[in-house]
Structure 1
Amino acid sequence: MAFHKAVKGTALVGGGALATVLGLSQFAHYRRKQVNLAHVEAADCFLETNLKELPSREAQLASLQSTTEFDILVIGGGATGSGCALDAVTRGLRTALVERDDFSSGTSSRSTKLIHGGVRYLQTAITSLDYEQYRMVKEALHERANLLEIAPHLSHALPIMLPIYKWWQLPYYWIGIKLYDLVAGANCLKSSYVLSKTRALEHFPMLQKDKLVGAIVYYDGQHNDARMNLAIALTAARYGAAIANYIEVMCLLKKRDPKTGEMCVSGAHCKDLLTGQEFDVRAKCVINATGPFTDSLRKMDNQALTNICQPSAGVHIVMPGYYSPESMGLLDPATSDGRVIFFLPWEKMTIAGTTDSPTDVTSHPIPSEDDINFILNEVQ
């Protein structure tokens, strides 16, 4: 009798939790609809009237060389550097940006192509009661909504299927995904839903048919990372930032601070890799946005500095497009070593990844055979 009461109590608690999550999810969905109905698009006159024609590379180089002193010099033309340049120039600061290679030639063109809040981070936030992880997910979901709104030509919502192979996982993952929708609030793209085994196999016929129970589908964003980066850099240029690629920083310039008497960075000595011409770019502030090459630039200032960047390699492999439907991705949340593997449609192909392993800093990293085999084995 005691055992029967305990089971009944557990069932009531479990059912109450599910009902609560479902109710909150439906309420959030209702609020999103109301917000969308009440939302009125407002034209930003400042953005419309202050955009300029895109200057040529020659004009950009002339600006870099002729300006006596910029307020900000950004070194690195990836997502971080281009974002810093756009933010600075739209605040009225005289801004310059130099990139050694092409825009997005490094990390910013080699992502998983997702704009996501991080389902796994939310899991960590809940299981470890980590409020900072929760805040990170909340902010990421907010930024996801921003990108989808301001660049609809480069981003879109993508349904991602989570296959379920054990019955007990279905309510566990369902609650987690519904909480993900709930945290997104008004920024939730579409409500998640459950798929039967038959429907799941229609989307991904190569799933293990004998073990599959069903699937849960949730929505995240997908975008063209390299084009997004380039669009941000070009927008900064239209607002008046002096931006040029194939400009390598040879060394940092320094001058003595009249207040403290200390030597401080005041710009960079640069070289145009296309013409071989060298020139100085002076600035009140220099931003290091060189990604994995952060320490190399820091040591131009002080050779005695210790490294603060631990480079790691994330590998993706490209497979034929018939391995995934054109409009849905797949997530394996628990690989053999606990990492997450995404299986996503991209440019009529399928990309699978990613790994995370220590590596050496190189301009053109090459994936190791172990990383490639790991992804292939997990995909199987």
Structure 2
Amino acid sequence: MKPFSYKNRTRILEQLPTSQYDVIIIGGGITGTGIALDATTRGLKTLLVEMQDFAAGTSSRSTKLVHGGLRYLKQFEVKLVAEVGKERAIVYENAPHVTHPQWMLLPFYKSGTFGKTSTSFGLQVYDFLAGVKRKERRKMLTKEEVLQHEPLLNADGLVGGGEYVEYRTDDARLTLEVAKKAHELGADLVNYTKVDGLLYDENGRVNGVQLTDQLTGESYAGYSSIVVNAGGPWVEQVMGLDQPIEGKKLLLTKGIHLVFDRSVLPLHQPIYFDTPDGRMIFAIPRNQKTYVGTTDTVYEEDLKNPQITEDDKRYLLEAITEIFPTASVGMSDIESTWAGVRPLIQQEGKGPSEISRKDEVWTSSTGLLTIAGGKLTGYRKMAQSITDTISEKLESHGVKAGPCVTKNLRLSGGDFDKSSDYSHYVEDRAHELTKLGLAFQDGLNIASMYGTNTNQIAELISRVTPSNELPLAIRLTLQYAIDFEMAMTPVDYFMRRTGAIFFDIHWVDQWKAAVIAYMKEALDWSSAQTKQYSDELEARLADARG
């Protein structure tokens, strides 16, 4: 695999004046990287630019599920459920190292939103629409069986439950694996590069972007036949650089999550439950932690670093107390938090939880393509749809694109013959990594997270900088993040390459100084840069602590 690093980033930017692309994509979240992968596999010369790090927006701040959206059946979003339901299995087969099937428990109560008959029917329809494999089809449980599965649940008014399979993921790592695969197959992708303006040809058609490197302040221009706006919550800001499109508007909503140690909220499996106000909440065990979310409130403040209020936390804590009354979870038990912003397509007269999660493609009078809305699970189909449009438009430029091939394309790290090979591979690689001096558990952690890229990490053993302060496992994954995942700052590593700020914040506190020192040497930072990136890490840690 060719390097995907700060050196490659610099090369791409320096060559922009002499480069002509078929398509430039604005936005490095799951939607933008998905488009980059689809476009480059069709033979299109592709550039993606992201003003922050890859997945720094919504794509690292979701509920971290590749799920079919069972609740959308209540809103009669049959087509959406069918489409994203089928996509779950595709994402899993192409990236089993970042997508893990788990049985989700849906309890229902006398006074709740779901009843026994409606739940059974709804899950049966869900199985049918999503094309669920026989062994993963829904099971209906009695009250006694539900409590055997999850003793912490409130028994008062409990009628029974349903159990069905959903897929837990690491959203940021999924985005990175898509980006890395696009890079491997020929796309150019750069982070920390902001679009300040759009460029136009003599006919007033968009034919490029004006860029600023956020790390150096240098300015560049990039040219292409097609420009795509995949800015997520920033979609309207990018549209504001162009001609407005009448009647097209976003509604931004905020969703928050709280993380607890597993000893505080020791769940046996993921739970999906409804609240007295009709919302649906997930409570999901993940390694040694349990996280709970999400909320859905209109949001109009800082998009880069959305903040969590005391009211946000109280809302989820009250929901936890209602459904798990013996858990005794309080404010002091919250280890970390995160908040994300959803870019929904505004629908007149509908509140945040009622608005469809479907995506739309808009075209301005100058030819700027904008994709808005959508869900993490449906990223591949969204990319296929807009790349079909791109391909049609490029025909007038004499460019013939190939067909979509992403349905059966393994992502970076997912090069298994079949998904069931993953578990055996992880254990086998973990044993091999012990020969390098790693503990077996560290080997398991690396192999399970990086999949078939584990061998590439092992090959770095001769290159990692010696350190008495950093354990070998951290040095290997950090060097890999720098060389092959374009990590530029400590936040990139701790938040989006490892997820540790969300799920192991004490580990971050333990190793942050040594990681900063390692990156300073590897990336040749000045004292001013080192302070800037250290301060940024402290700010993100403060955000995570709420």
Unmatched runs of 5 consecutive residues or more in structure 2:
322-546
Which residue pairs with 1:105 in the alignment? 56
Distance of aligned partners of 1:189 and 1:270 in 2 relative to their CA distance in 1, 3 Å threshold: farther
**Deviations 1:53-74 (CA, angstroms, capped at 9, x unpaired):** 2344333432344243111111
Deviations 1:307-347 (Å, cap 9, x if unpaired)? 722211111111222355566111113x2221111111124
Partner of 1:73: 24
Alignment partner, residue 149 of structure 1:
93
Within the candidate set 46, 60, 70, 1:119 is matched to 70
Change (3 A) 1:340 1:53: same
Instruction: Report % sequence identity.
Output: 37
Q: How many angstroms apart in 2 are the aligned matches of 1:122 and 1:361?
A: 31
Say if 1:82 and 1:233, in contact at 8 Å, map to a contact too.
Answer: yes
Out of 217, 222, 225, the residue aligned to residue 168 of structure 2 is: 222
The residue aligned with 1:54 is 3
Q: SS at the partner of 1:240?
A: coil
CA distance in structure 1 between the partners assigned to 2:246 and 2:140 by the alignment: 53
Match for 1:377 among 286, 305, 318? 318
1:254 deviation in Å? 2.1
- Indicate which of 168, 171, 178 corresponds to 1:232: 178
Which position in structure 2 is the counterpart of 1:360? 300
Cα drift, residue 359 of structure 1: 0.8
1:213 Cα offset (Å) = 3.1
Residue 285 (1) aligns with residue 226 (2): yes
| Further displaced range: 177-186 or 112-121 | 177-186
Q: Secondary structure at 1:350's aligned position in 2?
A: strand
**CA offsets 1:175-199 (integer angstroms, 9 cap, x no match):** 2212222222355661222334344
Residues 159 and 327, structure 1, Cα contact 8 Å, conserved in 2: no
Task: Report the 3-state secondary structure (helix = DSSP H, G, I; strand = E; otherwise coil) of the residue aligned with 2:209.
Answer: strand
Output aligned runs, 1:151-170, within 5 Å. Answer: 151-166=95-110, 169-170=115-116
Counterpart CA distance in 2 for 1:366 and 1:307 is 27
Q: Which amino acid aligns with 1:231?
A: E
TM-score (norm. length: structure 1)? 0.77
Structure 1 residue aligned with 2:291: 351
Matched residue type, 1:59: N
- The structural deviation recorded for 1:135 is 1.2
Shift of residue 269, structure 1, vs aligned partner:
1.6
Deviations 1:337-361 (A, max 9, x none): 2111111112421111111111114
Residue 180 of structure 1 aligns with which residue? 126
Matched letter for residue 207 of structure 1: L
The CA deviation string for residues 112-158 of structure 1, in whole angstroms up to 9 with x for no partner, is 11111111122332xxxxxxx21111111111110011001110111
Q: 1:248 aligns with which of 183, 194, 204?
A: 194
Q: Which amino acid aligns with 1:84?
A: I
1:55 to 1:212, Cα distance in 2 relative to 1, 3 A: closer
Q: Equivalent residues in 2 for 1:295-310 (5 A)?
A: 295-302=236-243, 308-310=249-251
Structure 1 residues 162 and 324: CA distance shift in structure 2, 3 A: farther
Tell me whether 1:137 sits opposite 2:86 in the alignment: no
- Please tell me the residue identity of whatever aligns with 1:204: E
Return the alpha-carbon distance in structure 2 between the equivalents of residues 175 and 299 of structure 1.
Answer: 45
Counterpart code for 1:276: G
Q: Measured at CA, do residues 373 and 186 of structure 1 come closer, stay the same or move farther in structure 2, by a change above 3 Å?
A: closer
What's the TM-score once normalised by structure 2's chain length?
0.54
- In 2, Cα distance between the equivalents of 1:202 and 1:87? 45
- 8 Å contact kept, 1:64–1:96: no
Contact 2:150 2:269 in 1 (8 A): no
1:222 is paired with a residue of what secondary structure? strand
Give the Cα–Cα distance (whole angstroms) in 1 for the partners of residues 118 and 250 of structure 2.
37
Question: In structure 2, what is the equivalent of residue 24 of structure 1?
Answer: none
Residues 41-93 of structure 1 show CA distances to partners (whole Å, capped at 9, x for unaligned) of xxxxxxxxxxx523443334323442431111111100011001111111111
Q: Which runs of 5+ in 1 are unaligned?
A: 1-51, 126-132, 258-262
Offset from partner CA, 1:275-310 (integer Å, 9 cap, x none): 222211111111111111111111122489887222
CA contact (8 A) 2:37 2:181 kept: yes
Q: Name the amino acid aligned to 2:30.
A: A
Task: Name the residue aligned to 1:314.
Answer: 255
User: In structure 2, the residue corresponding to 1:84 is in which secondary structure?
Assistant: helix
Counterpart pick for 1:193 among 126, 139, 163:
139
Q: Does 1:82 align with 2:46?
A: no
Partner secondary structure for residue 118 of structure 2:
helix
Q: Which moved more, 1:272-281 or 1:133-142?
A: 272-281
Structure 1 residues 104 and 327, CA, compared in 2 at 3 Å: closer, same or farther?
A: farther
| SS of match in other structure, 1:138 | helix
